[in-house]
Amino acid sequence: MYGNAYIENDGNKVNSILADEDPIKLAEFEARIAAGDKIEPKDWMPKEYRKQLVRMIEQHAHSEIIGSLPEGTWITRAPGFRRKLALMAKVQDEVGHAQLLYSAAETLGKSREDMTNDLINGKSKYSNVFNYPAPTWADSAVIAWLIDAGAIVNQLANSKGSYGPYCRALDRICAEESFHLKYGHDNVVFLATGTPVQRAMVQEALNRWWEPIMHFFGPPDKASQHSEILMRWKVKMGSNDSMRQTFLNMYVPKIWDLGLTLPDPNLRKNEETGQWEYTEPDWDTFKQVINGNGPCNKERLAVRRMAEENGRWVRKALMNKSEEYVTPLA
Amino acid sequence: MIIKSLDPRIDRAALDDESKVGELSGNEHFQTYEVFQQVKRGTHHQHVGNVHAPNAEMAMLFAKEQYCRRGAAVNLWVVKTADVFVTEYQDADIFETTEDKLYRDPNSYKVMDRINAFKARNNNA
């Protein structure tokens, strides 16, 4: 699962971004993408294309790793053996997705240890939603259903992008995410159609998660030359708002169907425009959380550091000094 | 400060939120292996991705978890990435004439016209 990529949107730099690129190679590169061809690791690519892709794929990989933490918390306490097994399988999938994505990012020249260090040091971002706690079982159900649903909206769009290794990783990931979605939906339906206590529990979880879910797709996009270039290069496959609309259109009716409510009195579909109307979530809160001040940022990174530190002696014992690291092929 | 968590296991670990331990030093990751999976007897092995591993046995273990968690598989290969020789995309012109060599294509052999003409000639004779 995955949130929005936080692409820096600096319109002033646009001219300098392309200034030192070879115009002939740039034209060939853009023609290839326009024709629907994929770019492969050793192909020529503009520096900005490489930089934004590394940032995006790396954030995605970190999100998979960190995203498995709030859910992993619930494995030992999941109600019933089957749900424990299913949740374990889901968490294993998420960690596997991170492996696929790190490999894709490595093909662009950033080593895996650099990515891990940037995560541990707080230099790299990951999806904002994972900085919130999952206080009840219903929270883990809402995460598995709706956060994964949001992730699928993002990932399906990105799998049509221009960078071959990323697209291939996403094809695999999307196939596995559909189990997560079904599993999460099953859990939410079970609670929503259960006793009054179960219904109240899932309603409260939904209330807690609504703002993070609205944040998930990122702030409304400002039109800029920079994002126009990234769209043309098929790095960015849709605006944050269009992804949010797709999500609302698919899932709000399903939530309402269960007799559950969402904590936004203005949420409705405008039948004339076909667009959903809603109250803008608090984007200052979003910035605060991204910059390290969310309820769980410190815990997430501390747990990640512990894993790295506790695993070090195993890695060292297995390390073969005579072997040299080679960038993965594809 | 020690982190207070909803997760009892994390509470028990008494983690310091400012600690800097855990950073990797340079070259602290394993080499990569390319993974090839055969989904059914009689079909080709296909490249599905790669894994980081310290040796071939561990690569096999990781490849099974990573690529054969679902669906069918009957066989798996892992090959050190360093041992794979590859062509460059910029040299793709070495394949260019392949499609022009129609004499290697069964469809380029059209004999019916001649046979029919031959038969017509013989019948008329």
Residue A183 is encoded by which pair of tokens? Answer: 């599993």
Give residue A158's pLDDT.
93
Give the helix, strand, coil percentages of chain A, each rounded to 5.
65, 0, 30
Assess whether pLDDT exceeds 70 at residue A14.
Answer: no
Q: Does any domain span residue A236?
A: yes
Q: Among B7, B20, B47, pick the best mutation site for testing chain A contact (most A Cβ within 10 A).
A: B7
Q: Is it the case that residue A4 has pLDDT exceeding 70?
A: no
Question: Has residue A139 been placed in a domain?
Answer: yes
pLDDT score recorded for residue B27: 64
Residue A88 lies in a domain: yes
Q: Name chain A contacts of B26, Cβ cutoff 8 Å.
A: 113
State how far the Cα of A221 lies from the Cα of B37, in Å rounded to an integer. Answer: 42
- Give me the amino acid identity at B117: A
Residues 1-30 of A with CB under 8 A from B: none
Q: Please report the ipTM that was assigned to this predicted complex.
A: 0.87
CB nearest to A298's CB, from B3, B7, B88: B3
Copy the structure tokens of residue A4.
Answer: 């929005």
Nearest CA in chain B to A118: B23
A103 vs B22: CB contact, 8 Å cut-off?
A: no
Say which CATH number the domain at A197 has. Answer: 1.20.1260.10
User: Between A112-120 and A297-318, two packed helices, what is the crossing angle to 10 degrees?
Assistant: 150
Set of chain A residues whose Cβ sits within 8 Å of the Cβ of B52: 99, 103, 112
Closest chain B C-alpha to A180 CA, distance in angstroms: 14
The answer to whether B29 and A115 are in contact (CB under 8 A) is: no
Q: Which residue of A has its CA nearest to B92?
A: A43
Q: Is A107 on the interface with B (CB under 8 A)?
A: no
Strands B32-38 and B46-52: antiparallel
Q: Domain range holding A281?
A: 28-318
**Mean pLDDT across A285-306:** 91
Q: Identify the CA nearest to A187 among candidates A214, A206, A162, A213.
A: A206
A312 inside domain: yes
Q: Residues 6 or more apart from A32 whose CB is under 8 A from it? A: A39
Question: d(Cα B67, Cα A103) in Å, to the nearest integer?
Answer: 13
Is residue B21 less than 8 Å (CB to CB) from chain A?
A: yes
User: Domain for residue A169, yes or no?
Assistant: yes
Complete domains list, chain B, with CATH? 29-124 (3.10.20.520)
Count how many domains chain A has. Answer: 1
- A303 contacts on B by Cβ (under 8 Å): 10, 15
Q: Is residue A11 in some structural domain? A: no
Alpha carbon separation from A268 to A253, A261, B110, B116 (Å, rounded)? 10, 12, 66, 73
Residue A69 CB-density burial (10 A; 0-12 exposed, 13-18 middle, 19+ buried): buried
d(CA A239, CA A132): 25
In a domain, A17, yes or no: no
The yes-or-no verdict on residue B29 having pLDDT over 80 is no
- Does residue A149 carry a pLDDT above 60? yes
pLDDT tens-digit map of A91-139: 999 999 999 999 999 999 999 989 999 999 889 999 999 999 999 999 9
Question: In angstroms, rounded to a whole number, what is the distance separating the alpha carbons of residues A201 and A182?
Answer: 20
Summarised one tens digit per residue, pLDDT across range A164-221 is 999 999 999 998 999 999 999 999 999 999 999 999 999 999 999 999 999 999 998 8
Mean pLDDT for the stretch of residues A78-86: 96
B84 touches chain A (CB under 8 A): yes
Using CB atoms within 10 Å of the CB of residue B91, give its burial: 0 to 12 exposed, 13 to 18 middle, 19+ buried. Answer: exposed
Q: Is residue A82 part of a domain?
A: yes
- Scan residues 40-69 of B and list those with Cβ closer than 8 Å to A: 47, 49-52, 54-55, 58, 65-66, 69
Nearest CB neighbour to A100, from listed B28, B49, B86: B49
A40-68, pLDDT tens digit by residue?
A: 999 999 999 999 999 999 999 999 999 99
- Per-residue pLDDT, B107: 86
- For residue B44, the distance in angstroms to the closest alpha carbon of chain A comes to 19
Of B17, B26, B30, the CB nearest to A302: B17
Q: B-contacting residues of A 236-295, CB under 8 Å? A: none
Which residues on chain A are in Cβ contact (under 8 Å) with B22?
A: 120, 304-309, 312
pLDDT of residue A227: 81
| pLDDT score of B96 | 82
Does A99 contact B13 at a Cβ distance shorter than 8 Å? Answer: no
Tell whether the torsion through CA atoms of A152, B53, B27 and A107 is positive or negative.
Answer: negative
d(CA A237, CA A220): 15
Q: Cα(A6)–Cα(A218) distance, rounded to whole angstroms?
A: 8
Is A99's CB within 8 Å of B58's CB? no
Q: How many CA atoms lie within 13 A of B20 on its CB side?
A: 3
